[in-house]
Amino acid sequence: MKIIETTQQIAQELNIQLLQIQSTVELLNAGNTIPFIARYRKEMTGNLDETQIEAIQDRWQYLEELEERRQAIFQSIEKQGKLTDALKRKLQETSSKQQLEDLYLPYKPKRRTRAMIAKEKGLEPLAQLLLNTKTHKTEIDQWIGLFLANTEFPAEDPPLSPEQVMRHAQDIIAEMITEHAESRDIVRKLTFQKGQFVSKAKPDYVDQPSKFEMYYDFQEAVRQIPAHRYMALRRGEKENILKLSLEVAEDKIYQALHPHWLADASPDALPYLEQALQDAYHRLLSISIETDIRLEVRQQAEESSIELFSKNLRQLLLQPPGGQCMVLGLDPGYRTGTKWALVDTTGKFIDHGVIYPAPPQKKIENSEKVLRQIIQTHSVKIIAIGNGTASREVQRFVQNFLKSEKSSIICVIVNESGASIYSASEVGREEFPDLDLTVRGAISIARRYQDPLAELVKIDPKSIGVGQYQHDVNASKLQRSLSRTVESCVNYVGVDLNTASVQLLTYVAGITPSVARHVVKHRNQHGSFQKRTELHKVDGIGPRIFEQSAGFLRIPTSNNPLDRSAVHPESYSVVEQMAKDHNISVDELVGNTPVLQSISLEDYVSSQAGQYTLKDILEELKKPGRDPRSDHQAVQFNDGIETINDLQIGMKLSGVVTNMTHFGAFVDVGVHQDGLVHISEMSTRFIKNPMEICSIGQQVAVYVKQADTVRQRIALSMIAPKQEKTPPNKKSNRRSHKAESFSSSDDFRATLAKLEENWQHSK
């Protein structure tokens, strides 16, 4: 019965049909992977996509955890003998962990409190008397007098005064208010709606510059604060630079609580209850609610940051591949030279070395000789240069060399984010144990061009350098989200079974790290796979793993065209029947658009293949094994612009987006320092999300707004500046304007803060 209720609740929350929820939960509980369900079980889910299936899985897990906690609370309160039918009903009806904990709070074992001490003294009846709507002053005084004269309780030393007795009774009432679930809910909602986060600089930093300067005297509404600003405030607080607090008008709090605690109070008890209410809020409730809200806002900020990180990672992983060709990878450097590594069409390492085309050595002739020899010996098609230190100098050298040689070889810049992490990682050492880590970096750069996805999966996603505040969010949640993203991308593209690394295979649906190692071991011992069914010979791969993974594994050299496609082996018979019905072979059917367009899906609907599956099969047969990623385009930076010192205000530049945040995009313009396009500078129209305008890997045109050569910071805009007439022979004036611009901005962060302030105001 509980399962039915849970699926009904999820269906209502996600606005998905109940049968779709039930089927999806059944598939997930049976151990099916999300990519497999989304691709090959569309009939059962009603064509739900991966995002919807993930949402169902997450909500199902949340509700299961909620139910587990509910049962534990039932047992705890029942042991105390306090589980009434009314309380049980309230606990049963709640669908929020926070509400559940609020209801449990009065019964939750806790350390000794002031209210407990007051109860031990026998003052609970006085608290109840004060709460009685008909209580008179004489009753209160009489009760206190009798209490002080009573010898039943241990005598106090020194004896309690009437005022102390009253304060003890108020302690009991204060705790009652604090633990009252409805009151907590009222204060929490009001604080969230009307509260302000306020930050101040700690005394030691008031006059000291830091990356948190814009928050030295800052406040923003709780309900409006963006994820990136709250994460920044938390980091500033954690680094002991900022003092962060949550402030709300207390009169509004008391006004909201008045109907529950003061409205029906007797006039004689009212002053004492008002004092108890104020004490409850100041000493207990405000602190507790601030903790709750900060936790809630932090969780929301973390979820937003994790979502952004995952979207960025997906864009990065799905960047267009260069394809199978001979690539020379260059890892630029100054003093230690530029490391080069050659890989063949499958990414196999061939040779490596070092050249010195950049300062200080600048051995141009020798470097050209080495390049010429490599090109003459091998059929190099692409020279891929990492975008790190000295990349522009090395690019200029290579381009000049290719031009002088009248060569058709293409020179490209490759984003090398994370390459150094891979070079020093256990994966890198295991793959190339005899090579220096700098050589591994050059190999990684070459492979990045061939297939970014296959190379990036070898790096911990957190180290790739996209997103914001990834080190400040819940590590397990981040890892889970990023692993899901990588798995989704790998299975979306598909994997070449005969060239895939252990790391890449690990992300294929159904394949574990140990099974991936067995696949590579079998491949090394027995040679390339010729057909998918040979997977059954691999240790650890049974019918279940084969079912989950086979459709995502491709064998481009197989004689069976279906093994080269995304058609699942369980549907081969359907394709064979289609070919038979048209008196042609499967080979002749694949790619045969006229025949494929003439096929009526209704003729092949069965319990194994429905309309969704058959439609996918036909689409795949039209372009079998087609890479869903777009075609690769080389990034072209502006000639002559190589360092931040070359930038001029208003200058138009070509760049590529390297990172997306909630407040804007970072763009590489080829000067070794990414510039920030603030969200307010991305469009002339209002936008909420920078991803409405661009994405990672996209080539964009930007204009220089600010270039701080001291702090190495660049502010860019995607909005063309208004064209102003420049008087003739005013070149020197233009330079002085640039200098004036720098002198008028004491801190580049202040410029960005002002941009953001203007943007918030425009909203």
Residue 262, domain CATH: 1.10.3500.10
Total domains, the chain:
4
User: What per-residue confidence (pLDDT) applies to 745?
Assistant: 37
Cβ(230)–Cβ(197) under 8 Å? yes
In a domain, 413, yes or no: yes
If you search the block for the tokens 């102390």, which residue do you land on? 164
In a domain, 524, yes or no: no
In a domain, 254, yes or no: yes
Q: Are residues 288 and 259 in the same domain?
A: yes
Q: Is 728 helix (H, G, I), strand (E, B) or coil?
A: coil
In a domain, 755, yes or no: yes
Q: Are residues 81 and 135 in the same domain?
A: no
> Considering only CA atoms, which of 703, 677, 693 is closest in space to residue 755?
677
User: Where does a domain end: 416, 431, 450?
Assistant: 450
pLDDT digits (tens, 9 = 90+) for 355-374: 999 999 999 999 999 999 99
Q: Are residues 142 and 80 in the same domain?
A: no
Q: Are residues 88 and 120 in the same domain?
A: no
In sign, the C-alpha dihedral spanning 86, 88, 89, 91 is positive
Cα–Cα distance, 11 to 30 (Å, whole number): 20
pTM exceeding the 0.75 threshold for the entire prediction:
yes
Q: Are residues 205 and 248 in the same domain?
A: yes
Neighbours of 560 (CB within 10 A): 16
If you search the block for the tokens 């499967």, which residue do you land on? 586
CATH number of the domain that residue 20 is part of: 1.10.10.650
User: What per-residue confidence (pLDDT) applies to 666?
Assistant: 95
Q: Are residues 138 and 257 in the same domain?
A: yes
Q: Are residues 125 and 103 in the same domain?
A: no
Residue 157 phi/psi, 5° resolution? -130, 105
In single-letter form, the type of residue at position 434 comes to D
Q: Are residues 83 and 142 in the same domain?
A: no
User: Where does a domain end: 107, 134, 164?
Assistant: 107
In a domain, 570, yes or no: no
Neighbours of 660 (CB within 10 A): 26
Q: Which helix (H) or strand (E) holds 675?
A: strand 675-678
> Considering only CA atoms, which of 580, 583, 587 is closest in space to residue 562?
587
Domain membership of residue 68 as a residue range: 2-107
Q: Are residues 206 and 224 in the same domain?
A: yes
User: Where does a domain end: 389, 419, 450?
Assistant: 450
If you search the block for the tokens 């003093």, which residue do you land on? 335
Cα–Cα distance, 4 to 16 (Å, whole number): 15
CATH number of the domain that residue 703 is part of: 2.40.50.140
Cα–Cα distance, 71 to 287 (Å, whole number): 28
In a domain, 462, yes or no: no
Q: Are residues 243 and 118 in the same domain?
A: yes
738-756: b (≥16 Cβ within 10 Å) or e: beeeeeeeeebbebbeebb
In a domain, 505, yes or no: no
pLDDT digits (tens, 9 = 90+) for 415-465: 888 888 899 999 999 999 999 999 999 999 999 999 999 999 998 887 777
Cα–Cα distance, 699 to 320 (Å, whole number): 13
Q: Are residues 295 and 351 in the same domain?
A: no
User: What per-residue confidence (pLDDT) applies to 580?
Assistant: 96
> Considering only CA atoms, which of 87, 66, 76 is closest in space to residue 5?
66
Low-confidence residues of the chain: pLDDT under 70: 1-2, 151-157, 723-763
Question: First-to-last CA distance in the chain?
Answer: 48
Q: Do the strands 495-496 and 553-554 form a parallel or antiparallel pair, or are they unpaired?
A: parallel
Cα–Cα distance, 733 to 735 (Å, whole number): 5
Helix axes 572-581, 611-622, angle to 10 degrees: 70
Q: Are residues 140 and 36 in the same domain?
A: no
In a domain, 484, yes or no: no
